[in-house]
Structures are given as structure tokens and as C-alpha cells.
């Protein structure tokens, strides 16, 4: 059984094909990382899979109950407090107002936000705190599937690690499935049960790999060694750091 299944999916912008023949499935409790060079269509694929864009070809089957999405930018409403930003997602689900406060508090605690943090506006929060609010907003609707669209790219190394640890814990504790978009192979190796590689021109998925062990049990040293070996000797990862400026235009 798959919670998300893509079969022969393709997409185009202004007549230009950016994705073609994408087939991928994600099982319950599985986090799949999608890697590939900048401009190859990773984020576009996530948006298509999540229903934000309509595919030109192919079929998408979603068997989860509810999904959430975390973007590269936190995308917080600047006029709303952190608590109000988290609660906005609950309003969209139709949750009664008298139940929202408890749900906001629950989600905030999951990402280590304190009461004082919830009263602050985005302009008063650091980059890491803004991303915690964005994650809490996603968790507040209790999704069983999360799309992560390069959510930690703009953070420094220490913050990125803390956010990665948070994702590992959430997925392990709640058995949340997800698709994690990243250009960083080490991040993919830390987080994902399985790593899929998108072709440099978005023409299918040429292969996938499974890092050893479960994400919550992996050591940084083991993953560093695995990534170094993969980059040096595995042809599947040969082009994941290439950049095609024309496709980024």
C-alpha cells in the first residue's frame, strides 16, 4: 500500500517540458528524499504531487488522510503573531475556535516554542524560530503526510541540524510519511528512509538508494562516510550538484 503514488507524471511551463515520466511511490511511515541538481524540477515535482500544480500527463493517487507542506521560506503572515500563524491552518480545516488554542499549544510544544514566542510577530523572530512556527503550523492539522520543499536551505549549519533532528523525531514518533526535497545529499542521508534521484533534465528517476539503518539510529560519522563513498563511486549521484542556469530562468 502506498500513501502517495505517481505514475508517468509530467509537467510543462509555457510549453517547455520540465518533468517527464516520473514514477514514484511512498509507503506508510516512509520519508523519501528527492535529490538532484538545481533547476532539475524537484520543487515543481513536490508542488505537483501536493496538488498545487496540475500535471500535464500521468496519474497521482493520494491515500493519506491529510497532508501539510513546509516551504523553503516560512511564508508567515507578517501582521499575525506566531500563534495566529499556527492557528490559520486550523481555521482552514474548520476546527471550532474553542479547540484551536489547545491545538496551537500542542503544536508549539512539539517544536520547542515557548509561550512568549507565540506572542511575537515574524519580524521579532530569528530565521530558525520562523521555521519552527512554519513546522508547528503544519503539525497543527495533524497530517499523516508532509511535503518538505527544501525547508532548511536558508539556515546555518547548526540550525539546520536542529531542524533535521526535529523532522527525524516527528516522523519516528508519529509515523508521518513524507517527501523531502533537498539538494544536499548529507541531509537526505540523515533524514530519509530512501533517497530517489531526479534526472538532470527532469526526465524520470534514474534510481534510488537506501542508506543503512533507520534515520533515528544513524550516526553522523556513518552518514558522512556513506555520502563520501556515494559521491566518489556511485554514478547515480554523479550530477546532483550540477547547475543548469537555463532551467533556473
pLDDT band at 160 (very low <50, low <70, confident <90, very high): confident
pLDDT for 248 equals 45
Residue in 208, 231, 198, 209 with CA at minimum distance from that of residue 40: 198
Q: What is the pLDDT of residues 186-244, one digit of tens each?
A: 999 999 999 999 999 999 999 999 999 999 999 999 999 999 999 999 999 987 876 55
Averaged over 163-178, what is the pLDDT? Answer: 91
Q: Using the CB atoms, write b or e for 148-160: b if 16+ within 10 Å.
A: bbbbbeebeeebb
Instruction: Tell me the C-alpha distance between 193 and 75, whole Å.
Output: 28
Q: What DSSP character marks residue 120? A: S
The proportion of the chain whose per-residue pLDDT surpasses 70, expressed as a percent, equals 97
Residue in 149, 133, 145 with CA at minimum distance from that of residue 68: 145
Instruction: Tell me the C-alpha distance between 241 and 38, whole Å.
Output: 7
Instruction: Tell me the C-alpha distance between 163 and 160, whole Å.
Output: 5
| Continuous segment of H or E residues that includes residue 228 | helix 220-233
Grid coordinates given for 188: 537526505
pLDDT for 245 equals 47
Q: What is the mean pLDDT of the chain?
A: 92
pLDDT for 242 equals 66
Q: Using the CB atoms, write b or e for 66-77: b if 16+ within 10 Å.
A: ebbbbbbebebe
Domain ranges of the chain: 4-65+145-248, 77-143
Strand 57-62 and strand 194-197: the pairing is unpaired
CATH of domain 4-65+145-248: 3.40.50.300
pLDDT for 243 equals 57
Who contacts 214 (Cβ-Cβ below 8 Å, separation ≥6)? Answer: 172, 193
Q: Which residues pair with 7 in a beta bridge?
A: 59
Q: What share of the chain is helix, strand, coil (3-state, %, to 5)?
A: 40, 20, 35
Residue in 56, 67, 49 with CA at minimum distance from that of residue 177: 67
Instruction: Tell me the C-alpha distance between 109 and 90, whole Å.
Output: 16
Averaged over 77-103, what is the pLDDT? Answer: 92
pLDDT for 249 equals 41
Amino acid at each position: 500500500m502506498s500513501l502517495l503514488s505517481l505514475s508517468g507524471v509530467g509537467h510543462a511551463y509555457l510549453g517547455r517540458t520540465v518533468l517527464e515520466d516520473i514514477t514514484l511511490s511512498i509507503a506508510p511511515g516512509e520519508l523519501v528524499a528527492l535529490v538532484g541538481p538545481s533547476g532539475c524540477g524537484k520543487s515543481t515535482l513536490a508542488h505537483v504531487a501536493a496538488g498545487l500544480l496540475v500535471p500535464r500527463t500521468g496519474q497521482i493517487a493520494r491515500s493519506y488522510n491529510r497532508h501539510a507542506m513546509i516551504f523553503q521560506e516560512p511564508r508567515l503572515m507578517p501582521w499575525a503573531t506566531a500563534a495566529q500563524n499556527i492557528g490559520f491552518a486550523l481555521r482552514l480545516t474548520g476546527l471550532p475556535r474553542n479547540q484551536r488554542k489547545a491545538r496551537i499549544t500542542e503544536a508549539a510544544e512539539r517544536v520547542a516554542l515557548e509561550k512568549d514566542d507565540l506572542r511575537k510577530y515574524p519580524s521579532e523572530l530569528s530565521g530558525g524560530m520562523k521555521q519552527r512556527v512554519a513546522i508547528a503550523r503544519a503539525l497543527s492539522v495533524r497530517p499523516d503526510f508532509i511535503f518538505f520543499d527544501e525547508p532548511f536551505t536558508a539556515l546555518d549549519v547548526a540550525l539546520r541540524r536542529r531542524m533535521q533532528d526535529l523532522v527525524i523525531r516527528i516522523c519516528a514518533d508519529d509515523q508521518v510519511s513524507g517527501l523531502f526535497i533537498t539538494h544536499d545529499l548529507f541531509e537526505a542521508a540523515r533524514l530519509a528512509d530512501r533517497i530517489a534521484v531526479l534526472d538532470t533534465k527532469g526526465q524520470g528517476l534514474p534510481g534510488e538508494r537506501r542508506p543503512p539503518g533507520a534515520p533515528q539510529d544513524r550516526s553522523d560519522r556513518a552518514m558522512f562516510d556513506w555520502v563520501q563513498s556515494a559521491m566518489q563511486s556511485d554514478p547515480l549521484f554523479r550530477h546532483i550538484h550540477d547547475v543548469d542556469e537555463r532551467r533556473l530562468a
